[in-house]
Structure 1
């Protein structure tokens, strides 16, 4: 699992139980998945089609630093399937697991379009090719 983004849990991120609100965490995951998809597929028109069962393992509290990890499960013809783990940066304790986040590559008319990708590509490798 590669961890790409870190967030600090702030007062506005908390639920009435004073733990990280699940909706806020899902917002962060969806945004991270979209960014990952845009970078991998080299297309800014990428949307979330599906999220599998979400498993809240533990909670986070104000001041915790959480990190969001994404890995590619598979490349489809027009899609990219990711898995996600969010964990506490300092304790490494898992907060949430999402086994399947399906993103779809769209054309300028909003229709699914083939992306032609078959493996993970890193920006540093693309830059080396230029």
Structure 2
């Protein structure tokens, strides 16, 4: 799993127990999944369709640095299924896991659209291939 984003837990991210608010963490995950999918599918019209069970394993407190990791589980015809792990950057303790996040590729009218992708592509490889043309 590749960890793409780091977030610093600040006072405004805390719940009344002074730990990271779960809703804030889920918003960060949703945004990261969208950005990852947009880059993979080369389309800015991507939405979250489904998140499987969310397993909170530990908490984070103010000052912690958490990192969000994503990995492709499957390429569908119009979708991309990801799994997610969030961990403490310094201790690598797992904070949360999500087994499946389904992201759907849309056309300009908001309808599911086939993306034609079958494997993970890296931007650096795309750029290298374009420079060979």
Query: One fold, TM greater than 0.5?
Result: yes
Q: Write out aligned runs for 1:41-56 (5 A).
A: 41-56=41-56
Aligned alpha-carbon RMSD (Å): 0.2
The runs of at least 4 consecutive aligned structure 1 residues that moved more than 6 Å come to: none
Secondary structure of the structure 2 residue equivalent to 1:67: strand
Tell me the residue number matched to 1:67.
67
Tell me the residue number matched to 1:17.
17
Could you tell me which runs of 5 or more consecutive residues in structure 2 were left unpaired when the two chains were aligned. Answer: none
Tell me the residue number matched to 1:30.
30
CA-CA distance at 1:87 after TM superposition: 0.1
Secondary structure of the structure 1 residue equivalent to 2:111: coil
Tell me the residue number matched to 1:106.
106
Could you tell me which runs of 5 or more consecutive residues in structure 1 were left unpaired when the two chains were aligned. Answer: none
- TM-score under structure 2 length normalisation: 0.98
Aligned residues: 130
Secondary structure of the structure 2 residue equivalent to 1:66: strand
CA-CA distance at 1:93 after TM superposition: 0.1
Cα displacement string for residues 69-88 of structure 1 (whole angstroms, at most 9, x for unaligned residues): 00000000000000000000
